[in-house]
Structure 1
């Protein structure tokens, strides 16, 4: 297939919007695994719309029924707004809120996946996953679908150790995702929660000496294992350029805050260190994330809830406690952002919040 044909396939849209929830309740999976391959992702200049936001985020706070923080360090929930009906100012203000709080939750949402694609395009180019199935003719729409089938069992086996599932979406890309929009519309009777952790607070909780040591180090992120697992299941790896090096401590372009940018699913080694040194430090940081209950949020879903998170400043982990019992389904839209960078002049979140509290006093 030529690059032109692949691009045409990538942007093709179905004329009828499928009822994915209904399809998910059927006896057979609706996911499409075409053998389509794509050209490598091309670098682009990312202009984060959070720079256009009103610092007070008034368009959200004055129109929502209720907005509250779920935990002190991460997670905010908004009631009374539909993502399908946001104004451009609200979309920009939401970008700033997500950048500050890591993940924002919206319950009882009516948005469908076509509207989700349009919303996602406001924040950046839509990402097509390297290997996973998608909605037929909609490669940008990535279903999250696990049930009691043999296929789902095999996929969940990759995360037999639940803590090994912590990740930031496809961090192996040259320009990894900014925002992910995930709508869950079908839930097991019990279970199926998701954790998020704050990369800002994870950095803040490290000792100053370790912070200084880590700043400037780089980590290799790889999707090679993901590609090999797909091939073993008989599916296509859609692109080949799936390993890149990113800073271990990352600066967010809108907040200017430092965050720990590493997680076990895609991080492989620290550049310039021996294997023993790299493994020791990475395992220390992974344990730091696993045990960071004071900078995590565990979210209990309700049907038709959407979580929107910033992959640049969070990691997340789905809890597969419902496998062998029930099914869970939703769909995801992911947007690309800038190439990760570290600015030595950037500040930590705790430093900035402390300054604001002092100024307010």
Structure 2
């Protein structure tokens, strides 16, 4: 068993059978916490009728709206009331004066390109959370199909939303550190999907006065800092990403699975079709092993790369929240982590809209030649590749690719 499998999954997205409640087949948080919600319509629920009621998306050709964006971004910034501040020279922006809920389609295209170029953007003073569920879903659908999370809480009858709910208890916060030294968990969302998310929106519903920041880390920069020799050695490697551990954790705590666990094989180094650059595409949450390597070889290479990523604090930003902030990021490019640094009874309540993008590939050529039909064949071979020994994988996959 790889050491990467022992992950503590985020308690803020799952049902807690020791403190939450069930009624008429609907799981939700305790009455005490429900009374504390400023937006009860967004209360986390896990509906029994949704258990294994959803399928994973079949391969589809993604149209990236950033490819239609204007690199001058005039549609977004020509208003004199718009204020844009760089968080760092390479990563992150903070913006005031743009109302995301009011964007035209042209502005959405420019937004997609700006998010790709800057990685992550915090928009202040937003009214997004006051829009209807249907309007928010329509907004997200412009950028791609909406992901349904297999195990997280969602507003009742709206499984397209992923809810984060940190229960208002200082005691709960202290429990987090009973058996570990920190709660930093760098990850990219649901990379176990065959076509993981691209543009992701995260909106705060209720926050405390301070603390609970979200940190983001640039995987372009992490890749670029590797030596040419190391890049050459890892560029063609493939990695197993799986949701099996997350599903197991959700079941342990009494939750549901909206769809079956899934495993996908992705490139260790991913090509970004908008920026035409390469980035590392691994994370401790869902990446499990490198195909073609023995257990110790895979663990050591993954841990080297993960330790390198996590030490790149000069390639990351830390964005703080208030109850009217919305953050949009490129899930292909950045990792993120919550920050557990408060000791009050403040509730942290937020929702995520996750839009699926292209199938991760390792090169421009692979991106341009990709088709849904070929991908169906690749998916059918997943178990075959995973069952090969390192020697068999070298002979039947690596050597054949060289011919």
TM-score of the two chains, using structure 1 as the length reference: 0.84
**CA–CA distance in 1 between the matches of 2:209 and 2:94?**
23
Q: Which of 248, 254, 278 is 1:228 aligned to?
A: 248
**Counterpart position of 1:274:** 294
Give the SS at the match of 1:99.
helix
Matched, 1:338 2:351: no
Q: Is contact 1:121-1:335 (8 Å) kept?
A: yes
Give the SS at the match of 2:337.
strand
Matched, 1:261 2:278: no
Q: For the structure 1 residues 159 and 175, does the alpha-carbon distance in structure 2 shift closer, same or farther, using more than 3 Å as the test?
A: farther
Within 5 Å, which residues of 2 pair with 1:1-361? 24-25=37-38, 30-35=43-48, 36=50, 37=52, 38-63=54-79, 65-112=82-129, 114=133, 115-148=135-168, 160-162=180-182, 165-322=185-342, 325-343=345-363
Give the SS at the match of 1:200.
helix
Q: For the structure 1 residues 163 and 146, does the alpha-carbon distance in structure 2 shift closer, same or farther, using more than 3 Å as the test?
A: closer
**CA–CA distance in 2 between the matches of 1:155 and 1:173?**
31
Residue 93 (structure 1) shift = 0.5
Residue 41 (structure 1) shift = 2.0
Residue 287 (structure 1) shift = 1.1
Residue 257 (structure 1) shift = 1.0
Q: For the structure 1 residues 154 and 263, does the alpha-carbon distance in structure 2 shift closer, same or farther, using more than 3 Å as the test?
A: farther
Residue 294 (structure 1) shift = 1.2
Q: How big is each residue's C-alpha offset from its partner over 1:219-250, in whole Å with a ceiling of 9 and x where there is no partner?
A: 11111111001111111212125110100110
Which runs of 4 or more aligned residues in structure 1 lie more than 6 Å from their structure 2 counterparts after TM superposition? 20-23, 26-29
Structure 2: gaps (5+ residues): 1-32, 367-403
TM-score of the two chains, using structure 2 as the length reference: 0.75
Q: For the structure 1 residues 62 and 155, does the alpha-carbon distance in structure 2 shift closer, same or farther, using more than 3 Å as the test?
A: farther
Aligned length: 327
Q: Is contact 2:164-2:348 (8 Å) kept?
A: yes
Report the RMSD for the aligned CA atoms in angstroms: 2.7
Q: For the structure 1 residues 87 and 29, does the alpha-carbon distance in structure 2 shift closer, same or farther, using more than 3 Å as the test?
A: closer
Q: For the structure 1 residues 134 and 161, does the alpha-carbon distance in structure 2 shift closer, same or farther, using more than 3 Å as the test?
A: farther
Structure 1: gaps (5+ residues): 1-19, 347-361
**CA–CA distance in 2 between the matches of 1:124 and 1:160?**
38
Q: How big is each residue's C-alpha offset from its partner over 1:150-180, in whole Å with a ceiling of 9 and x where there is no partner?
A: 9966995799454651100000000001111
Structure whose alpha-carbon radius of gyration is higher: 2
Q: Is contact 1:199-1:315 (8 Å) kept?
A: yes
